Copies of this chain bind each other. A is one copy, B any other.
Amino acid sequence: MGSSVAMESDYGAARELSPLQKSRALYRPDLPPGLQGTAVTVEYGDAATAADVAGAHVISHAFPHTYGQPLAHFLGKTADVPDAAAVITEPPVVRVGVVFSGRQSPGGHNVIWGLYDAIKAHNSNSKLIGFLGGTDGLFAQKTKEITDEALSCYKNQGGYDMLGRTRDQIRTTEQVKAAMNTCQALKLDALVIIGGVTSNTDAAQLAETFAESKCSTKVVGVPVTLNGDLKNQFVETTVGFDTICKVNSQLISNVCTDALSAEKYYYFIRLMGRKASHVALECALQSHPNMVILGEEVAASKLTIFDITKQICDAVQARSEKDKYHGVVLIPEGLVESIPELYALLQEIHGLHKKGVATENISSQLSPWASALFEFLPPFIRMQLLLHPGSDDSAQLSQIETEKLLAQLVEDEMNKRLMEGTYKGKKFNAICHFFGYQARGALPSKFDCDYAYVLGHVCYHIIAAGLNGYMATVTNLKSPVNKWECGAVPITSMMTVKRWSRGHATSQIGKPAVHMASVDLKGKAYELLRQNSSNFLLEDIYRNPGPLQFEGPGAETKPISLCVEDRDYMGRIKQLQEYLEKVKRIVKPGCSQDVLKAALSAMASVTEMLTIMSAPSFAGQATI
């Protein structure tokens, strides 16, 4: 089938930039105060524990060299840090490699640009080496030195085409060995891996293996994925998510306006985003479609495909009573795996694939109940369900047209109700859309440009500090850039251990990994959606955020789901430390007996409560 590694000449070829692209190429993001100038201070915090308390032991065992390292914060020279562990003032020459791993996400190029700028600002003899064609290029030592000239056409531009990407993993023993060979052959001080949950898990594993093997290359991860599902106490959002949601919201809003103008169609729109429904949630908050069916809701309520169909039909009927025969329904691509019986059917099919059963024989080897469901489904969906699963063991989500399945089931049911006389409105008409690939290569929003560029700088400081197995982080993102806080977090502290899993994912049981984060059904973004959902459903209060703007109104907006959450986890940890200091200051020898008594009693109860909440058994219930 030919070589899977493209030749160097394919990349970075002369491009014709449009006027807007040219203007974007000249835009330079600001840096937060902590990163300005060449003297950046590193402040180390406590050793980070895993959020998954129950799994901490397993994680520490699997990552003896890289688990339990402290958090790091990067602060400007002028910051008031009495006990700073180190002040970096003599920048050494470094050789750094960088690779795109996983699906292209708008803003990826800016991570490389930020990293390059930081490296060169500290020592112009340092080198940044890009791997061509993703991890395949890393394994095969296909490189391209990053220069000002190479970067010039890619600053603030979409895609991953400056370097390209291929496969999404560094996992097998051969792959890890090949990566180590490359790092040693090229004498790399560090390797920066740009990607999502899977790539960052791989980065942590690589860091551990390098440490174990006394390979001096440090591994750094960067949270870049358009799905927005790499999200935890340290990572508020990922690079690309804002752009994807803006481009999709614009299209959804256009469709809403279209529906309202023509008044004769229901649009069923499936959105990319893999298993989690972050993109669908954000787009719903931006555009106010009539309905959005989040996979997390469906999974939590254990809704069947019939329950969902009925819900939509009831909505169509309620709208018809207001003489409305149009509407817009958002469907995340991960929905299909959230519907219990479809998921179970998919698991059976994947199991048979793994056993080597030929695709055309699978339907005859299904269990009776799975077979009954399978036969009930329309033929096009059957074909799609039979497709081989993707590299990360999930179904080929983007290939399964759940929107068409639901539209057809709803149409059948509405026709039935019409015949039976329980529905007296006009005929139900649906048009289906899949908004996938058309957003992925978009010009990144200002927010994604800024965030990615700053993350690139942070990577340099992680490398300069000699840290291994860390992810670059920027927090307090909902505030302006001059309030952003830059840090580094051991990737292992973002890991959890799955103790049970449905179906084919059993191979992952017991292995620590950075897992994708679902939409938090207790979070503020979801709450905001639910507060408005009946208005959205019946009142057509469609809102159009418009095309992504780079100047003027709208250019500075950020994801609503980012802005409504109390993120700034690190800020709140600091706040807690201030309280503890305050208690110390108040309760010193010389204070009254009453004050001491009150303090003892209060702190005893606080510590007892926190001990209970942090016990493995409790955490196990809450997070797994």
- Residues of A at under 8 Å CB distance from B? 1-4, 6-7, 10, 13-24, 103-104, 133, 157-161, 164-166, 247, 250-251, 253-263, 267, 286, 288, 320, 323-325, 424-427, 431, 433, 435, 437-443, 539-554, 557
Task: Report A582 CB to chain B, min CB distance, Å.
Answer: 40
Instruction: Enumerate 10 A-B pairs (CB-CB under 8 Å) in ascending A order.
Output: A7-B323, A10-B263, A10-B323, A104-B257, A250-B442, A254-B442, A255-B441, A443-B546, A549-B550, A551-B553
Nearest neighbor of A159 in chain B, beta-carbon distance: B257
Interface pair A260/B159, CB less than 8 Å apart: yes
Task: Report A25 CB to chain B, min CB distance, Å.
Answer: 11
Interface pair A543/B16, CB less than 8 Å apart: yes
Q: How many copies does the complex hold?
A: 2
Interface pair A18/B441, CB less than 8 Å apart: no
A151 to B250, CA, bound (A): 22
Q: Is the interface of A mostly helix, strand, loop or mixed?
A: loop
Contact of A18 among B161, B426, B439, B545 (CB under 8 A): B545
Given contacts A258-B441, A546-B550, list 11 more A-B pairs with CB under 8 A. Answer: A15-B542, A16-B541, A20-B545, A20-B546, A21-B544, A22-B553, A103-B262, A255-B437, A255-B438, A256-B441, A552-B552
A260 to B153, CA, bound (A): 14
* Inter-chain contacts of A250 with B (CB < 8 A): 442, 547
Nearest neighbor of A100 in chain B, beta-carbon distance: B261
* Inter-chain contacts of A1 with B (CB < 8 A): 426-427
Interface pair A257/B19, CB less than 8 Å apart: no
Task: Report A491 CB to chain B, min CB distance, Å.
Answer: 25
A554 to B250, CA, bound (A): 18
Given the interface pairs A104-B261, A323-B7, the reply to whether A443 lies near B544 with Cβ below 8 Å is: yes
* Inter-chain contacts of A547 with B (CB < 8 A): 247, 250, 442-443, 547-549
Given the interface pairs A437-B433, A544-B443, A552-B550, the reply to whether A257 lies near B16 with Cβ below 8 Å is: no
* Inter-chain contacts of A542 with B (CB < 8 A): 15-16
Nearest neighbor of A438 in chain B, beta-carbon distance: B251
Task: Report A383 CB to chain B, min CB distance, Å.
Answer: 11
* Inter-chain contacts of A3 with B (CB < 8 A): 323
A546 to B286, CA, bound (A): 20
* Inter-chain contacts of A22 with B (CB < 8 A): 553
Q: Which of A325, A426, A437, A543 has the most CB of B within 10 A?
A: A437
* Inter-chain contacts of A255 with B (CB < 8 A): 437-438, 441
Task: Report A348 CB to chain B, min CB distance, Å.
Answer: 27
* Inter-chain contacts of A320 with B (CB < 8 A): 2
Nearest neighbor of A551 in chain B, beta-carbon distance: B552
In the complex, the 10 A-B pairs of residues with the closest C-beta atoms, listed nearest first: A257-B441, A551-B552, A159-B257, A23-B553, A258-B441, A20-B546, A20-B554, A254-B441, A547-B547, A160-B261
* Inter-chain contacts of A433 with B (CB < 8 A): 437-438
Contact of A262 among B18, B104, B426, B545 (CB under 8 A): B104
Interface pair B165/A2, CB less than 8 Å apart: no
Interface pair A254/B554, CB less than 8 Å apart: no
Interface pair B261/A6, CB less than 8 Å apart: no
Nearest neighbor of A440 in chain B, beta-carbon distance: B258
Interface pair A324/B10, CB less than 8 Å apart: yes
* Inter-chain contacts of A551 with B (CB < 8 A): 549, 551-553
Task: Report A553 CB to chain B, min CB distance, Å.
Answer: 4
* Inter-chain contacts of A557 with B (CB < 8 A): 19
Interface pair A2/B426, CB less than 8 Å apart: yes
* Inter-chain contacts of A552 with B (CB < 8 A): 23, 550-552
Interface pair B323/A253, CB less than 8 Å apart: no
Contact of A6 among B20, B159, B323, B427 (CB under 8 A): B323
* Inter-chain contacts of A324 with B (CB < 8 A): 10
Task: Report A237 CB to chain B, min CB distance, Å.
Answer: 20
* Inter-chain contacts of A253 with B (CB < 8 A): 441
A103 to B440, CA, bound (A): 29
A255 to B4, CA, bound (A): 21
Interface pair B437/A267, CB less than 8 Å apart: yes
* Inter-chain contacts of A549 with B (CB < 8 A): 20, 547, 549-551
Nearest neighbor of A425 in chain B, beta-carbon distance: B2
Nearest neighbor of A257 in chain B, beta-carbon distance: B441
Nearest neighbor of A399 in chain B, beta-carbon distance: B431
A159 to B254, CA, bound (A): 8
Q: Which of A22, A158, A261 has the most CB of B within 10 A?
A: A261
A424 to B16, CA, bound (A): 31
Nearest neighbor of A166 in chain B, beta-carbon distance: B263
Task: Report A305 CB to chain B, min CB distance, Å.
Answer: 23
A443 to B543, CA, bound (A): 11
Task: Report A561 CB to chain B, min CB distance, Å.
Answer: 16
* Inter-chain contacts of A15 with B (CB < 8 A): 541-543
A6 to B540, CA, bound (A): 14
A162 to B204, CA, bound (A): 55
Interface pair B261/A24, CB less than 8 Å apart: no
A159 to B16, CA, bound (A): 33
